[in-house]
Amino acid sequence: MPTIFSKIINKEIPANIVYEDDLVVAFLDISQATKGHTLVVPREPFQNIFEIPEALAAHVFLVATKLATSIKSAFQADGMNILSNNGEVAGQTVFHFHLHLIPRYDKEELKFPLKNNMGNLSPEEYKERARLIRAALL
């Protein structure tokens, strides 16, 4: 089932894309849990980990691995949470499989489930964060 992520992937609505290839698109989460919070999303709208083919899930994780290093270096993060919510009971709100890359700077800065930080950043701030990640991609 198409969700808002399909609209982003099809460029019907804007997002700050940091990476894309034939299978995967990665873009800044609109609600930046921490500086550089990024979503890695397969183009095909599999709902969750229970639906996605293993080979595609492996590619999503490969891209996440590359991006994790770039995001860490772009913002001098100290660590990173990699998280995937699968099913409503697990806190999933967009039913198109994705990985969250959440760089960490401070033990106290984050609590799960993530709170909504939408509206805290200007469009220029999102653009600059995405630019820094793209520039750090190997």
Cα(65)–Cα(74) distance, rounded to whole angstroms? 14
Among 10, 65, 69, 93, binds ligand 5GP (CB under 6 A): 93
Question: Which range binds ligand 5GP by CB under 6 A, 52-60, 61-69, 71-79, 85-93?
Answer: 85-93
Cα(111)–Cα(108) distance, rounded to whole angstroms? 8
The site for ligand 5GP, by CB under 6 A, has a size of: 12
Instruction: Copy the structure tokens of residue 38.
Output: 């990024």
> Which residues, numbered 15-74, are part of the site for ligand 5GP (CB under 6 A)?
15, 27-31
Q: How far is the CB of 91 from ligand 5GP (least distance, A)?
A: 6
- Cα–Cα nearest to 56, from 66, 41, 69: 41
Q: Annotate 74-117 with DSSP letters as a single string.
A: HHT-SEEEEE---SGGGT--S-S--EEEEEES-TTS--SSPPP-
Regarding 86 and contact with ligand 5GP (CB under 6 A), the answer is no
Q: How far is the CB of 83 from ligand 5GP (least distance, A)?
A: 7
**Catalytic site residue 98?**
yes
Q: How far is the CB of 39 from ligand 5GP (least distance, A)?
A: 6
List CB contacts of 88: < 8 A, sequence separation 6 or more: none
Residues that bind ligand 5GP (CB under 6 A): 4, 15, 27-31, 85, 91-94
* Residues designated catalytic: 98
